[in-house]
Structure 1
Amino acid sequence: MNETTTIDAMGIATILSTLPHRYPFLLIDKVIRIQGDDFGVGVKNVTANEPQFMGHFPGNPVMPGVLMIEGMAQTGGVLALAHQGSAGKLVFFMTIDKAKFRKPVIPGDVVEYHMTKFAKKRNIWFYRGEAYVDGKLVAEAELSAMLANA
């Protein structure tokens, strides 16, 4: 895939063949848009039966912010791996900067992770992530990740 290639969707089977993450730590269900490694939108369907809600918080389940950051990172990882080719590669999360959490995310919400590349140096990708629910910004952060040989 090159920078100008746009893919409309990537389902769970392709995500599973791209990322090493598995349940309960796979935090994206599909990627609905990929423009090379420059931009993409990952989707997470938040459901009440996820294990984090047993303790965060009983009777008032709220998606932990750190898991939204991980969903952003996984979306960025899919973009980098799909662009570079995932065979024999692993993606390692490196930095989180400027993280802000604006609204709670609860079961029943559909989170869209909009990831925009703002830099790439050798094997390191830098993304700005914005998480939206119903078109409203709920979280944002800048992230970096490195691709390495498996």
Structure 2
Amino acid sequence: MIAATKQNLSTETVTIPVSEIEEIFKQIAETLQNVAKNEYQFINSCKEFFQFEEPKKVQFNEAGDCGYIVPIKNSIKQFLNKPDAINLLITNKNETISSTKRDTDLLLTYCDGVAASSNKLLHKNKSSFLLQLYSDDISVTNPLGPKKDEKNCLCFII
């Protein structure tokens, strides 16, 4: 049994049998296994339900060097169409503004820096959201092997 205390006007203890929790986890595992029996079915389900777009291969030269472009525009659109996404973004932006007003030495976002304060477009559209891209190289081979620096992947994170 797992006991949880729920605090409202009065304090009550709710007891949930471990067997019920195990049953819930079992149902979750079965659902995931049914959706993703193999990679092909998983990708098709992602396309159907989340409008997933596969990375596009870009050939750099005749030697076979290539890269992949992962489209993010549709992913951002899907995120912004979630019911609470806009409200959460506005709440976060307001909290960040409050924090930086209390402590002027804090730089919590791009908006707190000199580049943003001198950006005319941001002054004109005070309620706009900025997308901040972060990039980093990751090595995709065994770091101990002789080809440790040969294959790198550049990743962008929003």
TM-score for both structures, normalised by structure 2: 0.24
Q: Return the structure number with greater strand share.
A: 1
Larger radius of gyration: 2
Q: Return the structure number with greater helix share.
A: 2
